Chains A and B, each alone.
Chain A
Amino acid sequence: MAILSAQGLCVESLGGKESFPVLTDLNFSLEPGKVLGLVGESGAGKSMIGRTISQYLPKGFAVTRGTLEFDGEDLVSMVAERRRNLLGRDIAFIPQEPLSGLNPVLSVGQQMKEHLLRIGLAPGETWRERALKEFESVHLPHGSALLEKYPHQLSGGMCQRILIAMAFASRPRLLIADEPTTALDVTIQARIVKLIAEMQKRDGTAVIFITHDLRLASQISDEIMVLYAGRPAERGPAKQLFSAPAHPYTRCLQLANPTISGPRRGLFILPERMPGLRVLKELKGCRFASRCPNAVEACTESEPPLADIGPNHIAACIRTEKTPEIMPPLLAPGREIASTKIHLNGEKLTKAYTTAWSPFARRSSFKAVNSVDFTLGEGEFVGIVGESGSGKSSLARLVVGLDTPTEGRITLAGRDVTTNGNAEKAYRREYIQMVFQDPQSALNPRRRIGSIVTQANEANGLHNSSLERMNRAAELLKEIGLPPDAAMRFPSQLSGGQKQRVNIARALCTLPRILVADEIVSGLDVSVQAQLLDLLLKLRDEHGFSMLFISHDLSVVRYLCDRVMVMYRGEVVESGRTETVFADPKHAYTRSLLAAVPPDDVNLEWSPVLAEAGYQVE
């Protein structure tokens, strides 16, 4: 007997001037103890399923057709009070952002207490005992010290463990985990995913695991449903779906993601982006047709039905037999870096931070970057990997001159720029530009794109006439693949991927020799990520700049970078040519990082190192 089942479920937005479909014709049933993976790009409607289950839908959204039953009861027509009763008890949620999922002004204990008292305690049990028991089951040691802590004093991984402990405290029958590891490091991601699996087995909970990472979903799910523009594109047993995807969209998603092992292959570039929900009504045929490499005329005539293609495996495509023919482009042969000219050189770089003066505490200091040596040659892409707190971003700040090192020397094209005075700053600006992580906050919302991308011209006052800037903006937009009329738009009118392109274009405006890119593709869909990675490679061929590429995503670094540096607690523990380091890692930390990435082959066992990093009570 299924714990959750959807029959022809449709969700529409009715609030605005026109109604449009959000979720179309969803059918699935989830047995107790099973995991259903929901995969798709952002905007595909993955999260909307969780919101439909809780019935906390955005304003104006409503279920217009079909049923959604939890344990035989219809969740949609249920009295609100009854549904609220189920939430947190029988149906639990784990959020995407663990740090903001907890209330910042209440201690962990206060929040734990509130939840435990609501779901009820065993007779004679205090909430504190119970809380410690639940913490233990999610492998959080020192529980009693943890109860006094506030969320900001804990790491993302620890907050997520606390939220998992809360979610499983009531032994729920259904768990919805909405991208629970997207905001976390790879190693933490592996531990959290394994933890959810462990808890789920303990309680026999049914899980809906929402993720944009097909590789991850295939490792942990029993069944996967791939969503495209609010409609299922393919649904099937996880291993089968991953090893032999039937829908071209699934195949394209898979090929858009760089691999972590084996020979490097090219990335399949999905063109454009998913059609917006508002235009779906005018769309006659297959929703994916406009981006599909296999589309023929028949595809645009009517919406393809979900057809059986194997046991429990269905796909909404009329040409599934052609899907295996979709191939990634050939990878340009790895260029040997001919020139050995070194652009940037760091020697024994150290950055220490000291706490503020206080009459009650001794000042303590902490080395964010500890005696790091590195070089960056002409045209070279060097990746910096490591967990958060490993000093990657601190190193980047030293390189671009946002911080001055406490010790050590930075040489830029033969000139010592360590002191970072005004002359060095001006010199540095011509050589190095930085691309920031979050284009949403890196682009001034009140300036037009044309003015943003040519911002660098304001600094030196050269070519700063409006005509010169307009011309330069047009050139830059062409290079990054945006239409010329984008120059007159504002950042809010662009998609996330387009904004990140603008972010890159701005850094390239004055043709710097070096780019420093801090996590510039994290948080983007794989399709957009693939577009951006290939854009960077194309731009390097045209302009020959070099780049320090900071990322926590090892497959991306493997695809893009010639050399890689692995950082751990402020130090570089291993560095070398990317293929060498990834194929034969020497340092235990590098090995644990690599083991944390879900393997490319679904039949290989994923065995991340689960040993907990030492948690110190302050």
Chain B
Amino acid sequence: MRMFATIANLLVKRVLTAIPILLVVSALLFCILRILPVDPAAMSLPPNATVQEIEAMRTEMRLDRPLYEQYGIWLNQLLHGDIGRSIHFRQDVTSLIGSTLPATIELAVIAMMVATVFGLAGGLFLFYVRGTRAEAVMDFISILLLSLPEFLWSLFLLLIFGVFFEILPFTGRLSPGFERPVVTGFLLIDSLITGNISTFFNALEHMILPCLALGIALSPSLMRVLRSSLLDAYQDDYIQQARLRGLSEKRILIRHGLKNAILPTLSLMGVQFGFLFGGTLLVEIIYSYPGMGNLMVDAIRNADLPIIQGAGLTYCIAVLVISIVVDSLYLILNPKLRMR
């Protein structure tokens, strides 16, 4: 009961603090983009438009009003679910984000799962070989991995498995000719719901390389944090006491050591997951993956202000949600933080 009360308490507090954060971020986004030397009115018209036509457009788009009034109008529309229309794609920003965000979430979630598996396994292995010669070797390898960025991994994996061995696809989310069911927008989930198993496996194949690239790049820091938190935990009396109670080393590691050491690792994972949302960009480009990253790049290249604003807000909300989720997990795993 106490746990639920504490989590409810946290949720209420965090949602209340999220409101001013979102307001500040939206104001910043709006102001910065309005200060940029691009004229949305001119961009919305064909290149041969006259000055009068542009002026008329400015009035129509209410760009002649003071900045705060424009912000008010924009915010009002935002609250009604209208983020505006893309100047470049001539489509609602909501629908553009709605079609790319699930792809990015899928990518980020699976990449995080890969990173977690590699990070935990590697961390446990690093800890297991502590004090032996293998430790120095593992240490070297983990630092080497730490220094390779995700786009290098993307290129390596693409060249090896995509180009050289030709065993895995490396462009887009699906091979041509596969049916693309749309229910939630999450391709893996939708194909399962609609019973489209061949689509599911094809989509999964497409996820392997980008997710591996991201996951491998994230895992070394997780390994190292887990290893050092395990070393810390093993300094504590309860580990020694568990040994003196005759528990096996395996049980001590999993049930007593890992349960304590996972806490710092979890906060790092939260931070990484937040970064991952913005960080899929390069990988999405390399693998022509139709996610938010690619959308953002297009939007920035075309100075498509509504999309940049919408995407910016989406990132902000995503980070807030992730931090609430991580903090709730923390409460579940760490009884010390629960309400007294």
Measuring CB to CB, which residues of chain A are less than 8 angstroms from any residue of chain B?
54, 56, 59, 84-89, 92-93, 95-97, 100-107, 114-115, 118, 150, 152-153, 163, 166, 355, 358-361, 618
Question: Nearest chain A CB to B151's CB is how many angstroms away?
Answer: 38
In the complex, per-residue mask of B1-41: 1 if CB is within 8 Å of any chain A CB, else 0: 00001001100110000000000000000000000000000
Tell me the minimal C-beta distance from A523 to chain B in angstroms: 15
A54 in contact with B259 (CB, 8 Å) = no
B189 partner residues in chain A, CB cutoff 8 A: none
Interface residues of B in 246-272 (CB under 8 A from A): 246-248, 255-256, 259-260, 263
- Determine if B336 and A152 form an interchain contact, defined as CB atoms under 8 angstroms apart: yes
Number of interface residues of B (CB under 8 A): 29
Cβ-neighbour of A358 out of B237, B244, B333, B339 (below 8 A): B339
> In the complex, A56 Cα to B243 Cα: how many Å?
9
Q: Mark B224-249, 1 if CB is under 8 A from A, else 0.
A: 00000000000011101111111110
Contact of A88 among B5, B8, B246 (CB under 8 A): B246
Question: Quick check: is B72 within 8 A (CB to CB) of the other chain?
Answer: no
**How many Å lie between the Cα of A59 and that of B132 in the bound state?**
13
**27 A-B contacts, Cβ less than 8 Å apart?**
A54-B243, A54-B244, A87-B246, A88-B244, A88-B245, A88-B246, A88-B247, A93-B244, A95-B240, A96-B237, A97-B237, A100-B236, A100-B238, A103-B238, A103-B260, A104-B238, A105-B263, A105-B333, A106-B255, A118-B246, A118-B247, A152-B335, A152-B336, A153-B340, A163-B241, A355-B340, A618-B340
Cβ-based interface call for B334 (8 A): yes
Option from B12, B236, B340 in Cβ contact (under 8 Å) with A359: B12
Q: Give complex CA distance A107, B333 in Å.
A: 11
CA distance A89 to B13 in the complex (A): 48
- Of all chain B residues, the one with the shortest Cβ separation from A163 is B241
Query: Does A361 lie within 8 Å of B339, measured CB to CB?
Result: yes
> Once bound together, how far apart are the Cα atoms of A529 and B206, in whole Å?
71
Beta-carbon nearest neighbor of B256 in chain A = A103
Q: B335 near A105 (CB under 8 angstroms)?
A: yes
* Nearest CB in chain B: distance from A134 CB, A: 14
Q: Which residues of B contact A361 (CB under 8 A)?
A: 5, 9, 339
| Alpha-carbon distance A87/B240, docked complex (angstroms) | 12
Q: Which residues of A contact B259 (CB under 8 A)?
A: 103, 105-106
- A358-B9, A358-B339 given; A84·B246 CB < 8 A: yes
**For B335, what are the chain A residues with a Cβ–Cβ distance below 8 Å?**
104-105, 107, 150, 152
The 7 tightest CB contacts between A and B, nearest first, are: A88-B246, A87-B246, A88-B245, A93-B244, A100-B237, A150-B335, A103-B238
Q: Which residues of B contact A (CB under 8 A)?
A: 5, 8-9, 12-13, 131, 236-238, 240-248, 255-256, 259-260, 263, 333-336, 339-340
CB-based nearest A residue for B1: A148
CB pair B238–A89 under 8 Å, yes or no, is no
Bound form: Cα–Cα A322–B246 in Å: 47
Bound-complex Cα distance A56 to B237 (A) = 13
Residues of A within 8 A of B241 (CB): 93, 95, 101-102, 163
List the B residue with the shortest CB-CB distance to A84: B246
Query: Whose C-beta in chain B lies nearest to the C-beta of A355?
Result: B340
A87 contacts across to B, CB distance below 8 A: 243-246
Chain A residues within 8 Å of B13, by CB: 358-359
- The reply to whether B246 and A89 form a contact with Cβ atoms under 8 Å apart is yes
Give bound CA distance, A4 to B335, whole Å: 40
Across the interface, do A114 and B255 meet the contact criterion of CB distance under 8 Å?
yes
CA distance A358 to B6 in the complex (A): 9
Cβ B243 vs Cβ A360 within 8 A: no
Q: How far is the CA of A101 from the CA of B243 in the complex (A)?
A: 11
Chain A contacts for B334, CB-based, 8 A:
105
Q: Which residues of A contact B238 (CB under 8 A)?
A: 100-104
Taken together as a complex, chains A and B put the C-alpha atoms of A552 and B8 apart, in Å, by: 41
**Residues of chain B lying within 8 A (CB to CB) of residue A96:** 237
Q: Contact check, B242 vs A103: say whether CB atoms are below 8 A apart.
A: yes
Q: How far is the CB of A34 from chain B (nearest CB, A)?
A: 21
Which residues of the other chain, B, contact A358 by a CB distance below 8 angstroms?
9, 13, 339
In the assembled complex, the CB of B206 is this many whole angstroms from the nearest CB of chain A, namely 39
Please give, as numbers and ranges, the residues of chain A lying within 8 Å of B244 by CB-CB distance: 54, 56, 87-88, 92-93, 95
CA distance A525 to B241 in the complex (A): 24
Q: How far is the CB of B184 from chain A (nearest CB, A)?
A: 33
The closest CB in chain A to the CB of B245 belongs to A88
Do residues B247 and A101 form an inter-chain contact, with CB atoms below 8 A? no
Among B237, B238, B259, B333, chain A packs the most CB atoms within 10 A around the CB of: B238
Chain B: minimal CB distance from A73 (Å): 16
Determine how close the nearest CB of chain B comes to the CB of A444; give it in whole angstroms.
21
- Taken together as a complex, chains A and B put the C-alpha atoms of A195 and B238 apart, in Å, by 22
Closest to B16 in A: A359
Cross-chain contact A115 with B245 (CB below 8 angstroms): yes
Taking a contact as CB atoms under 8 Å apart, the answer to whether A114 and B9 are in contact is: no
Q: Are B246 and A360 in contact (CB under 8 A)?
A: no
Bound Cα distance A93, B131 (Å): 27
Contact call A118/B245, Cβ cutoff below 8 A? yes
CB-nearest residue of chain A to B238: A103
For A101, the chain B residues whose CB sits under 8 A away are 237-238, 241
Residues of B within 8 A of A360 (CB): 5, 8-9, 339
Question: Chain A residues near B260 (CB, 8 Å)?
Answer: 103-105
Q: How far is the CA of A85 from the CA of B12 in the complex (A)?
A: 50
| CB proximity of B289 to chain A, nearest CB, Å | 39
Q: Which residues of B contact A92 (CB under 8 A)?
A: 244-245
Given contacts A100-B236, A358-B13, A360-B5, 5 further A-B contacts (CB under 8 A): A88-B246, A101-B241, A104-B336, A105-B333, A106-B259
For A56, the chain B residues whose CB sits under 8 A away are 240, 243-244
Q: How far is the CB of B247 from chain A (nearest CB, A)?
A: 7
Residues from chain A with a CB closer than 8 A to the CB of B333 are 105
How far apart sit A114 and B238, CA to CA, in the bound complex (Å)? Answer: 14
- Bound form: Cα–Cα A96–B334 in Å: 24
Task: Judge whether A85 and B9 touch: CB under 8 Å.
Answer: no
Q: Which residues of B contact A114 (CB under 8 A)?
A: 247, 255
A95 and B237 contacting across the interface, CB-CB below 8 Å: yes
CB-based contact B336/A85 at 8 Å: no
With A and B bound together, what is the CA distance between A150 and B334 in angstroms? 10
Bound: A257/B12 CA distance, A: 56
Q: Closest Cβ of chain A: how far from B48's Cβ, in Å?
A: 60
Which residues of the partner chain B approach A106 to less than 8 Å between Cβ atoms? 255-256, 259
Instruction: Specify which of A95, A97, A104 lies most central, judged by the most chain B CB atoms within 10 Å of its CB.
Output: A104
Q: Could you tell me the distance in whole angstroms from the C-beta of B232 to the nearest C-beta in chain A? A: 13
Docked Cα-Cα span, A361 to B338, in Å, equals: 13
B263 proximity list for chain A (CB < 8 A): 105
Residues of B close to A150: CB separation below 8 A: 335-336
Bound CA span A361–B9, Å:
9
Q: Report how far A56 CA is from B8 CA in the complex, Å.
A: 45
Residue ID in chain B nearest A85 by CB atoms:
B246
For residue A254, give the distance in angstroms from its CB to the closest CB of chain B.
Answer: 30
In-complex Cβ contact of B248 among A84, A93, A359 (8 A) = A84
> Contacts of B245 on A, CB cut-off 8 Å?
87-88, 92-93, 115, 118, 166
What's the least CB distance linking A366 to chain B, in Å?
Answer: 11
Residues on the A chain within 8 Å of B8, using CB: 360
User: Which A residues are CB-close (under 8 A) to B256?
Assistant: 103, 106
CB-based nearest B residue for A97: B237
| Chain B residue at minimum C-beta to C-beta distance from A104 | B336
Q: How far is the CB of A54 from chain B (nearest CB, A)?
A: 6
Docked Cα-Cα span, A468 to B39, in Å, equals: 68
Q: Which residue of A lies closest to B257 (CB)?
A: A103
The distance from the CB of B57 to the nearest CB of chain A, in whole angstroms, is: 49
Residues of A contacting B131 in the complex (Cβ-Cβ under 8 angstroms): 59
List of A residues within 8 angstroms of B339 by Cβ: 358, 360-361
CA distance A60 to B244 in the complex (A): 19
- Cα A152 to Cα B245 in complex, Å, equals 21
Chain A residue nearest to B243 in the complex (CB): A56
CA A355 – CA B339 in complex, angstroms?
10
Most A-side CB within 10 Å, residue of B5, B131, B240, B245: B245
A310 to B65, CA, bound (A): 106
In the bound complex, how far is the Cα of B243 from the Cα of A115, in angstroms?
A: 11
B residues less than 8 Å from A59 (CB atoms): 131
Q: Which residue on B lies nearest to A83, using beta carbons?
A: B246
